[in-house]
Structure 1
Amino acid sequence: MSSLCHRICYRWSLLRITGLVLPSKQETKVLPIASYSLQSRSRFDIYRCLLTEKLWRLKSSNWSSSAADSPPSEKDGSAWFTESSILLNTNQNHGEAEPSNLAIDVQPVVLDGAPPHSPFEEISEEEALRIEAHPPLPPTSFTLRDYVDQSETLTKLVLLGVDLSKLEGRPNVANMLLRLDFDRDVKERLLFLKDVGVDDHLLGAFLTRNPFILTEDMENLQMRVQYLQSKKFNKGAISRMVSRAPYLLNFSVERLDNRLGFYQKELGLNMQKTRDLVTRFPKLLTGSLEPVKENLKVCRIELGFRENEIQHMVTSVPKLLLASKKKVTRLFDYLHNTMGIPHHLITKFPQVFNTKFLRIKDRHLFLEHLGRAQYDPTQPNYISLDKLVVTPDCVFCVEIAKGTLLDFESFQKTL
């Protein structure tokens, strides 16, 4: 006990010499330690004094190491005093401990980052010249031209040959293109199209007609190509179909399968002829089925063709299935009822439905004027439909009409 008293007196003498300031929580008045009487203080106050001395020594060593000559401010002393009070309160909750066993954990001080520069901060002229300022993008615009210089995606699409003027007028296409990232959304799909067989010089026209393929899931695109391969379409056929019908790969596998089944059933074709039909005219897979159904009904009911004749005509000229009903009926009426050509001769040359009506009419009237309108293969001077339609005017006038081009042009003026 006597040794403890001696130790306390010794530490009190040190505190009296240093004149340490201990502001309390309620007071901010500076009070020297020497003004306190040892006899009037409790044991708790003694512990606090001992702890404060340790804190003082620790801070003194820190100040000396950082070459700071000024003593701690009143604010610093308050912070250390608060920490010592917390430690003492913790010790009181768990029972009183000897002052020699008190330990202090000193945490490293974490400095905040430098504050951001103020927009009103003055800078030098050299710093101002180094600042790169880009013109702001317009919030709204009627053309994609205003965004090309600021968008990597639009810039590279233009270099590929995409016609943005045709895309900006289509609903929702312009906003979709501005949201795309070239490396994330466009690059992989361009490589996929090249693997399918779309030529480099056709990529721009392809994306101009179908920009929505850039938002299609890659897994779905690969599944559709695998489906076509499973139906025995070779690589050349798939390349031709995708290039000529850009929306083909936007169709689901189920829809493609339904389309192939429809043509095979309605036309009575085997699988090989069905493949040839859609390969030659892939729009049959992407277009609407309503005109196809209507034209088939017209050929069967109104025009009177038999099933085998319809099958031969559509496999020879697949475009006939999507042709205008008005054009088909007008041409057939003139060929069959005016020129007197029977069904079987029209079936042998179905390309006549791709010809302009006035071309057939002008040539027939000229032949009739010359007395050479003979379309019966059993009669002399027979003129077939292919010669009537395909040959150019100069050949038609000399070899078929046995006249001159000037005569034909003069006759056309009288019509």
Structure 2
Amino acid sequence: MFTSWLRNAAKIQNKSQITTKCGPLIEQIRQLRALRAVQNENNVPATEDATTQQLASKQLKSHKEVALDFGNRDAHVPSFNLAAHVNKSNTLQQLLKLGVDLHSIERRKGLGEFVLRLDFEQNVKPFLTFLVDQGVSPDDFGRMITKNPLLFKEDLDDLKTRMEYLKSKRFSTEAQQRILTHNPYWLMFSTRRIDRRLGYFQKEFHLSGHDIRLLATKEPRLVTYNMEHIRKSVFTLREEMGFSPKELQTLIVRKPRLMMIPPDDIVERFSYIHNDMGLSHKQIVQCPELLASREFRLRERHEFLKLLGRAQYDPLKDLYISPSDVVQGNNFYFVRNVAKSDLQTYDLFLKTR
């Protein structure tokens, strides 16, 4: 009896100790259960949530359909698309008659809008009259305007002054016409700038007045070309290729376009001509067209002549072939007149090399 009483007393004591230790934890559990019950009361039923999602999906789909509906909208025409304005613009119609390439103009930023704002009678016709007075043929108007429509932005008195400058430097009428038609940008440069450019070439290569006029007439673009590029080309020809001042002078007058070719390309061509074809500096100066020709074209023709045993460029030996003949004409001319072969053999050679 007494023993059982002790056991019950021990159990009661253990329970009270457990309750004392776990009291805070039990209280926290009760609070969490109460919060969960409140959340369950406030939750929307699953069916209602699904309905809300369906409505939102329908609204999004409706918005997309509206955004993709182009049926009743007007076509958007970019402002720089000159073709869309031709029917309404007398200026554009007249420019087309002159042979101007409007598509080429509109591809350059801002030029399309500039041309569209021109009035033919007030802004264009006076310039055309000026060009005719300088001896420019109307057949060249289209090409000139396509290259440089900003010519109509210049002052006519300034243009007349620039042409007077050419006359004062004793450029012939034919030379003036060639300069204008081959480089319409020339008229955009003031007489002071042109004078500095011509003075640079004259001083750098020790050219006479006749030579400087010949250079400017042969390649009018060179005078208005990027001067930094020209200085790099001169350095390449003189220092990297080893042309003497006299050789360089002759080379530039005969083929001024060489200074407009990227220097790396000229070095590559010179290396092949000088090392593989075995031509001296003197021979290259006599035939500057070699440096103006692409390296792969030189390689193809020289290797074909070498295969035929005709790659002989020494004028003192038999079967001499002038280096200039190697780069002249199309493939048919080269095969028939230089290589003395037929086009079929040359085509087969190109396929198997």
Superposition TM-score tier, normalisation by shorter sequence? 0.7 to 0.9
Give the letter aligned to residue 171 of structure 1: K
Shift of 1:306: 0.5
Q: Which runs of 5+ in 1 are unaligned?
A: 1-137
1:176 counterpart letter in structure 2: F
- Give the drift of 1:262: 0.7
1:218-253 Cα distance to aligned partner (Å, 9 max, x none): 111111111111111122111110010011111111
Matches within 5 A, 1:37-52: none
Alignment of 1:90-239 (within 5 A): 141-239=79-177
User: The residue matched to 2:270 in structure 1 has which SS?
Assistant: helix
Query: Which of 237, 248, 252 lines up with 1:299 in the alignment?
Result: 237
CA distance in 1, matches of 2:337, 2:113: 59
Distance 2:115 2:348 in 1: 55
SS in 2 for 1:207: helix
The verdict on how the C-alpha distance between 1:370 and 1:165 changes in structure 2, with shifts beyond 3 A counting, is closer
CA contact (8 A) 2:77 2:84 kept: no
Structure 1 residue 279 and structure 2 residue 238: aligned? Answer: no
What is the aligned partner in structure 1 of residue 303 from structure 2?
A: 365
Judge which range, 350-359 or 194-203, deviates more: 350-359
Report matched runs for 1:309-328 at 5 Å: 309-328=247-266
Match of 1:390?
A: 328
TM-score (norm 2): 0.73
Amino acid at match of 2:251: M
Amino acid at match of 1:268: H
| Equivalence map 1:52-67=2 (5 Å) | none
Report the AA paired with residue 214 of structure 2: D
How far has the Cα of 1:375 moved from its partner? Answer: 2.2
Alignment equivalent of 2:199, drawn from 261, 265, 278: 261
The offset of 1:139, in angstroms, is 9.4
* Counterpart for residue 407 of structure 1: 345
Q: Any conservation in 1 of the 2:273–2:279 contact (CA below 8 Å)? A: yes
Which structure's relative contact order is higher, taking Cα pairs within 8 Å and 6+ residues apart? 2
**RMSD of the alignment, in Å?**
2.1
| Closer, same or farther: CA 139–367 of 1 in aligned 2, 3 Å | closer
Cα distance change, pair 219–381 in 1 and its aligned pair in 2 (3 A): same
Distance (Å, rounded) in 1 between the aligned partners of 2:153 and 2:93: 18
Q: Which sections of structure 2, spanning at least 5 residues, go unmatched?
A: 1-75
- The amino acid of 1:170's aligned partner reads R
Structure 2 match to 1:356 = 294
- In 2, Cα distance between equivalents of 1:200 and 1:279: 20
Identity of counterpart residues, as a percentage? 38
**Deviation for aligned residue 1:350:** 0.9
Aligned positions, number: 278
* Contact kept in structure 1, 2:250 and 2:285, CA below 8 Å: yes
**Structure 1 Cα separation of the partners of residues 280 and 313 of structure 2:** 10
Q: CA deviation at 1:275?
A: 0.6
Aligned pair 1:241/2:196, yes or no? no
Residue 135 (structure 1) aligns with:
none
What is the letter of the counterpart of residue 153 of structure 1?
T
Decide which structure has greater helix share.
2
Cα gap change, 1:213 to 1:393, in 2 (>3 Å): closer
Instruction: Provide the C-alpha distance between the structure 2 equivalents of 1:399 and 1:182, rounded to a whole number of angstroms.
Output: 52
Quote the offset at 1:259 in angstroms: 0.8
Q: Which residue of 2 aligns with 1:337?
A: 275
Counterpart-to-counterpart distance in 2, 1:267 and 1:198: 31
**Matched residue, 2:23:** none
1:129-164 superposed Cα distances (whole Å, 9 cap, x missing partner): xxxxxxxxx996341223223222222222222222
Report which stretch shifted further, 195-204 or 386-395: 386-395
Residues 172-220 of structure 1 show CA distances to partners (whole Å, capped at 9, x for unaligned) of 2222223322222111111001111221111122111111111111111
Check 1:253–1:145 CA distance in 2 against 1; reply closer, same or farther (3 A cut): same
Taking structure 1 as the reference length, the TM-score comes to: 0.63
